[in-house]
């Protein structure tokens, strides 16, 4: 009986492994995004452009952002895991807690390898997001 159970487990594992697919690159035409057929969900868990209230402070860890914000709450609810996002529209000062109202947006950052002068951009060409402040205190 144990042999059959082990054999069944091995067969099921073999099928699961054989048919498992690696994550694939999904191509989405820009017209579907701008046409409203696809919504982008940002780091804050909301659709781009949706009104959001975030609470937090200037990030103390060294990172490659000019105005990094450590988010502690989103719409009054504590975050489950740390979220770090670039802030646009308000210069964040160290040692101060902020409550900011605005929206998340994003785009591609840096220069593709083929277009940079020496073939190596200062940053990886990638999609990034940031928070645009409409009201802040």
User: Domain boundaries in the chain?
Assistant: 39-136
Q: Where are the alpha helices (DSSP H) in the chain?
A: 2-19, 30-34
Pairing relationship of beta strands 68-74 and 77-88 according to DSSP bridges: antiparallel
User: What pLDDT score was predicted for residue 19?
Assistant: 52
User: What pLDDT score was predicted for residue 11?
Assistant: 46
User: What pLDDT score was predicted for residue 32?
Assistant: 82
**How far apart (Å, rounded) are the C-alpha atoms in residues 63 and 77?**
25
Per-residue pLDDT of the chain (137 residues; tens, 9 = 90+): 544 444 343 344 444 444 556 567 888 888 888 778 888 999 999 999 999 999 999 998 767 788 999 999 999 999 999 899 999 999 999 989 999 999 999 998 777 777 777 766 566 778 889 999 999 87
Which H or E run contains 109?
Answer: strand 97-109
User: What pLDDT score was predicted for residue 71?
Assistant: 97
Q: Whole-model pTM?
A: 0.75
Among the CATH numbers 3.30.70, 2.130.10, 2.40.50, 1.20.1260, which is that of 39-136?
2.40.50
**How far apart (Å, rounded) are the C-alpha atoms in residues 134 and 101?**
6
């Amino acid at each position: 009986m144990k042999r059959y159970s082990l054999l069944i487990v091995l067969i099921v594992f073999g099928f699961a492994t054989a048919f498992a697919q690696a994550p694939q690159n999904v191509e989405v035409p820009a017209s579907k995004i701008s046409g409203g057929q696809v919504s982008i969900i940002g780091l804050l868990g909301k659709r781009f452009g949706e009104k959001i209230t975030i609470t937090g402070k200037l990030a103390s860890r060294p990172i490659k952002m000019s105005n990094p914000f450590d988010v502690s709450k989103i719409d009054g609810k504590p975050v489950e895991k740390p979220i770090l996002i670039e802030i646009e529209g308000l210069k964040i000062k160290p040692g101060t807690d902020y409550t900011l109202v605005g929206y998340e947006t994003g785009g591609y950052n840096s220069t593709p390898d083929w277009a940079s002068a020496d073939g190596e951009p200062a940053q990886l060409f990638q999609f990034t997001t940031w928070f645009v402040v409409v009201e802040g205190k």
